[in-house]
Structure 1
């Protein structure tokens, strides 16, 4: 007897803000192609606005490295138990995991235990570290959808036939709406991240770097972009007196990027966003000493930011751990404000769009997911 499933429902599992944004585009593409499909799961505000029922909120999973996960283990385990119970009750046609492997691999196991097909959208960065996870994907996931051009051949070399759909950021960024925005060479954008830990760790140093820059060049102005789910009042409370700085809402972030001479950002998806928009960016990141020490042992890539990895050169400087200090951040950002350097970096970034694929990644992913579900339904009907 086949597993009883809940109509045409699909469970989506995002783990953080970037996954929520990608998931929102996927939900819209799924509903456009299959209006009767019901999307639900672990989601954020973007997926909810796109029509996904937010059964659990990604704010419950705003974690970073190994030590941070361990510190919140009881809460994470509780969330897992609740998700398993809901999956068991809902019996969706499929589970679609979106990035966040440290959590979503447990979701994969839960779905497999319940006999629910699993697709993985936005392949985990198994090419960077813990390459043995390729075996898990090959054995436990029905289909893996890649968004970076080098992922498919890497997975193929490890016995996993995946689909390359292109990067959803190409669809997410409203290029037509911002193409007329002129960069202000005296404006610096600050992107402190979306996770509480990274904001606590980096935001004070970003602001201290801004003060140093303003001391050297008093004509500079600064804008902080609030990420979804981050408290605006907390960001404003930390602003230094006398610094010409404003806080911008997340829905205006792309225009703010386009209108800036340079960006200071926490490492993450935002680095690829600023690269595709074409703005020179200083990347900074800081982890707990234990997480960083473990990372150095197991990470096997020359860069941490996607633009550098895709272009195979350090377009954006990467300041990690003790190098992510106000002095070095300010120096790198001021260097990007030099007119000649700024123009050279922008020219280099103009070639990036060719490497990340054509628009339409969420639609291609939706076609594969719905096609896979049709195959599953057909197989079950013939059993």
Structure 2
């Protein structure tokens, strides 16, 4: 297991590929974006993540990392491609299927196929089925009529799900230190994947079956989503009752067995905003709390938009500064960002002229570029021109804004840093 092929060079695939390359593996990275491939083959990084630029450059200079548009023969194939939602909150595994088809011609006996993408229940089994159809010359671990795997000592291809469990901003550390869950399509696949991860992971490696590993990842994110929904619902209640939600949570958390999370303008990112729907899709009648939490968090951006519009209506030609566009503080990650959606809705509803202040990006997101009433601005310009200051993301740069600069402005703080 020395040659590795990583499909998807995004927020998980690129750090994984670069880490493996610096550990001595020969890594062939694959991405459908030609610009991404070109950037990496110059030794550069296309993602904002602490120290990733140094790691990519080191991996490139070692000669162990090469990027391409197509796969190549390898010992281990890692699928780290997106799994978004379709209309109706339905899981979209199109990219998983495309990646499976892409690697099928390159598979050889003894190869290990690992899905690191977050996936709906049963996807690992689907990959096994697809490979069985695409490569009838190879023996794929069989699955019985109950959806459970049957060990086959003669299985020539090993298939496992090992979901990523990293936090943006700490990816490089957590790739190594975090415990990993490995769900094999059969026991031999799980053990083979364990041998691979043991070579670079310091955390514990825990083996289970594929379906349990799939649900484990989804449950981890649904747990966070439910707890954030509780905090966001508290913020709605406090708004109605004229109570400071931040003070309330601080006081409640003084109880030794209470740990309420912080409310915000909504929930974003590639995991928490999406993964709970995978559980709802698998068990719609049973996942009632998980569904409700998603609905609470999905509603929060609209609540913020309504509040901003009410405040903006006081001005003849309001200028609204929206501070932050990313889904998480101090990253450039815009995926499923509630801040972007809030700005988009304000633009659609012509709430005013919007100054979007986002220190981690250089151009407006694609969903905002066609609005004439939205422009990217720096913080100084926003403080000079805005009638309303709306804090959407708690970037470090916004903590240092002097209170005296906000005295004559309408302030809406969705993160509680100016309380």
Q: If each structure's helix is expressed as a fraction of its own residues, which one has the higher value? A: 1
TM class by smaller structure? 0.3 to 0.5
Bigger RCO of structures 1 and 2 (CA < 8 A, at least 6 apart): 1
Q: Given the two structures, how large is their TM-score scaled by the length of structure 2?
A: 0.33
| Larger gyration radius, structure 1 or structure 2 | 2
